[in-house]
Copies of this chain bind each other. A is one copy, B any other.
Amino acid sequence: MNYFVTGGAGFIGSNLVDRLLSLGDAVTVYDNFSTGIPEYLETAKKHPGFHVINGDLLDQEKLSSALAGCDFVFHLAANADVRFGTEHPAKDLHQNTIATFNVLEAMRKNSINKIAFSSTGSVYGEAKVIPTPEDAPFPVQTSLYGASKLAGEGLIAAYCEGFGFQGWIFRFVSILGERYPHGHVFDFYKQLRAHPDHLDVLGNGHQKKSYLYVQDCIDAIFIAQEKSRDKVNIFNLGTDEYCEVKDSINWICGHLNLKPEIRYTGGERGWIGDNPFIFLDCKKIHSLGWKPKYTIHEGIVRTLEFLEQNLWVMERR
């Protein structure tokens, strides 16, 4: 198979690319390197079936030529900066909604009709049912990020109906693991390197979080694609456990052998639009035979080990 991976130089994207190449597939990465990291593609570059194109999804012409000859699109490129959405409201619209439309149109022009899409548990807004199943009550959006991903989902489903596409939509919890480049484990580790005696934490530490380890996430994506062949295939991807931010602080400090003073800013939420709790019901993907191999604790430790061995990742930002 000839795979096209948008955002292939990103955290999840580059891990997926390595996996696809290791299975003998050919891969073209399309990334504008706004947040993608060239070093993440160093292993990939050694494979003869690998190509990388430095391009923006808003450049329709470049995108359309780049796609020629591919069989399947993994559309992972996105503005994943959930937290600062209100500081630049157009960013989610352009980089998530319009970019997804451009991918679909470029596929249509090239007669490619299979797409997998990284959506988010944020599309459930403040879910009324927890753990939240894929067919939870019609949600009300609470973030520009969630709204833009929901818009992307809607476009993909409409292309499936209107143009004979086949789509796999994955609603992720937060993902952790090797090449993890942002989020609270990253921030906490960075802080503790700068000042091991204290840690500033947004909210009250009781925010509940569910994390999935990146290799488990990729396993799930592969299994869904292999075993679920509906027109539109929507899957929650998460773990059946969750932790509080306080737990993750204990695990991080335990691993680093530190006892910092923890300074909470207080309040239930880290920021406006931060969901107090995204916890997904993953029965649907379990029914296909997948379950995560790693616990949240193990995922956090693996993330820390990666950061410890790749301090340059933190210097970049």
Contacts and interface: CB of A to CB of B under 8 A. Distances in A.
A74 B228 CA distance: 42
A135 interface: yes
A252 to B, nearest CB: 30
| Number of copies of this protein chain within its complex | 2
Given A90-B101, A135-B137, A137-B135, A154 B158 contact: no
Nearest to A149: B154
Interface residues of A, number: 43
A147 B151 contact: yes
Interface in A141-188: 141-144, 146-148, 150-151, 153-155, 157-159, 161-163
A9 B161 CA distance: 32
A273 interface: yes
A104 B93 CA distance: 12
A136 interface: yes
Interface of A: 85-86, 89-90, 93, 97-98, 101, 104-105, 108, 124-125, 128, 134-144, 146-148, 150-151, 153-155, 157-159, 161-163, 232, 234, 272-273
Given A90-B101, A93-B98, 18 more contacts: A85-B158, A85-B162, A89-B104, A89-B159, A90-B105, A124-B138, A135-B137, A135-B138, A136-B138, A137-B138, A140-B232, A141-B161, A142-B157, A146-B154, A146-B158, A147-B154, A151-B151, A162-B272
